[in-house]
Chain A
Amino acid sequence: MSEQIMVQVRFKEKTEVGEYNDALYFTQAEYQAKSQIEIDALKQARVNNWVNAVKNPPVFVEPTKTELQAQKAELETQLAEVNSKLLTAKDVIK
């Protein structure tokens, strides 16, 4: 399949949490169909989302009992993997 030529709109903006560098991509048809106002709105949405992501990083939430049980099962699986890797490491040391 031939590669599609895309229009790149690269932009940067100074924000309260630092400078943001990003780019929008459009097919030529999409780009021609968009007004500058629409493109600016897309840029602003990206900036706003980024500022929000930086200012509101994931917060720790106490897990439920069900989630803890799932974590336990997952850890048991990981333990099996770690035990295997431990043996591999022992091979290296031998």
Chain B
Amino acid sequence: MPTLYAKIAGGNWSAAGTWSTTGSGGADNSGPPTSANDVIFELGSGNVTVDVGTQRSAKSLSCIAGTGDYIGILTHNANTLVVSGNITFSSGMTYTAVSSSAIIQVNGTGTITTNGKLIGQLQISGVTATLGDNLTFIDSKTCSLLLGTSASLNLNGKTVSGNSSINRVLLNSSIIGTAKTITVASGTFANADFRDITFSSASNLDLSAITGLSGNCGGNSITGGGTVLTFTTAVDQHWIAATGGDWSDVTKWTSRVPLPQDNVYFDNAFSASQTVTADMPRIGKSIDWTGATGTPTLALTSTGNTRYGSLTLISGMTLTVTQTQTFEGRGSFTLTSAGKSFGAVTVAMFGGTLTLQDAYTGTGTLTLNNGTFIDNGFSVSITIFSSSNSNVRTITKTGTWTLTSTGTIWTTATATNLTLSDTGTISITDTSATSKTFAGGGKTYNNISITGGGSGAVIFTGANTFNKITVAGGTKTITLPGSTTTTLVSGDGLGNGTNVITFNASAGSATLSKTSGVLSWDYVSLTNIPSTGGATFYAGTNSTDGGGNTGWNFTNAPPSGLLTTKVGS
């Protein structure tokens, strides 16, 4: 494939007219560069914008070839520029990464030479990338250097720098708990946080001595001869002002804006009507508001926030949340909500545990990506619960979880490496006309409580086992998974009184299994719900046989203590 030159007029990266095969003054190419084209910005090339949309590609990118060094402006909007080889910026050009979402991804072995230009985000995927000179990031709180699958970085004696001691760059693995290697090779860092990085270094590495600060987000180690890896020493940080302000305001803290390893305390007296805005993406280890007075407000509204420990709120404060809150601690930590309501919360605590200290209420999705979540017997009220992945995780559930939304309200559809210990209740409360899907992933649940009323069905997927299902308050349609067996342990009634509960199959037949004893229902309408197992199934005299219900008796169960015989329909 031919080399493509950025033309004199410049333009958007995605436009065919921005490129030529014969030089910056040549005729238009038939399309923008692909991963097969080497791309050259030469002296005559105009200003080019990496425009948004599908990702942009090049085999290699050089701004020092052709008729002379490029002196134009390369603007990188919020999009990914994928380069499969070397990247070389010229000293006289301008490279403007508009934000940390201006991503340069390197997916072919190559050398990155930025000539002092500031990068928004660098991703390395599947290869070892080597620094040709020092690499520095823009003045943003969310810059990162992400090492993807099978990726590594060779510093080659160069320095990776965040923009400041507050706006540090995060060097991390794309998979929590799976470390990626950075070969230090006489290189170093400045103002950087690290998560799941294995440093290959012949000698011990003292990251407490780098320019600025080093943050430890967990999962970091050293190999290659060095045995001691040291980060900036953790220091408790107290909010020392009576006024509110931004989390990133160093003047409000004991000695610095908290690092991921610093515990954070709000144990001061606030003046009236003060708000602390958490504008840092990584806000510290454990955050504790115990002792704060003056009824302050914590605003989690600026950016998504990750803490690496516990969170303790107090009754005498206000919480406003619009951004996703993430827990990434790798030890045993707690969450005390103090009656405050969260939005979306993600638990990504590799090898760690988050234990509730009181009831939890959220108006967004509670997501468990890694680690253990223990409700500790407290009530959990959320719109949706999601834990559909293959990471190692445990749910210990002894309280009542109330799911208030519609759509897929529970998903553990991919239940690989998920341990579920459930002695509590899951309550599905929505009574609208919209369906609710419980994608149980074939796990064993205790009790399911469904609020009756509304035409929206409750749809189960997965070969799940339930101790008991109850429906109260109105009629309801329950759809069981077709070609799949759902198992019930208890034979108790549905608790539906005279409200008819309709059971049907998502496709074909949905088998209901109970291994022994008697299942005693009434006021149900069954269609394509064959029964199996050693139990005797009574649908009740007030129930309707819609067909396809082998193994059911449409009579009442005999009083307990009497012998029963399985008749079958």
Binding site for B on A (CB under 8 A): 1, 4, 6, 8, 17-25, 27, 42, 45-46, 49-50, 53-55, 57-58, 73, 76-77, 79-81, 83-85, 87-88, 91-92, 94
Contact = CB atoms under 8 A, between A and B. Distances in A.
Contacts of A21: 359, 377-379, 399-400
A73 B78 CA distance: 9
Contacts, number: 132
A25 B402 CA distance: 23
Contacts of A25: 290, 314, 336, 338, 357-358
Contact of A91 (B148, B363, B399, B402): B148
A86 to B, nearest CB: 8
Interface string B112-139: 0000000000010110000000000000
B341 interface: yes
B381 A53 contact: yes
A94 B379 CA distance: 45
Contacts of A73: 78
Interface of B: 52-55, 78-80, 82, 99, 101, 103, 105, 107, 123, 125-126, 146, 148-150, 174, 236, 263, 265, 290-291, 314-315, 336, 338-339, 341, 357-359, 361, 363, 377-379, 381, 383, 399-400, 402, 404-405, 425, 427, 429-430, 449, 451
Given A46-B359, A80-B79, A57 B383 contact: yes
B125 A18 contact: no
Given A53-B381, A88-B148, A77 B290 contact: no
Nearest to A73: B78
A18 B425 contact: yes
Contact of B105 (A54, A55, A76, A87): A87
Contacts of A54: 381, 402, 404, 429
Nearest to B427: A18
Nearest to A78: B101
19 contacts: A4-B291, A18-B400, A21-B379, A22-B379, A23-B358, A25-B336, A25-B338, A42-B315, A50-B381, A53-B341, A53-B404, A54-B402, A58-B363, A77-B78, A77-B99, A80-B55, A80-B103, A88-B148, A91-B107
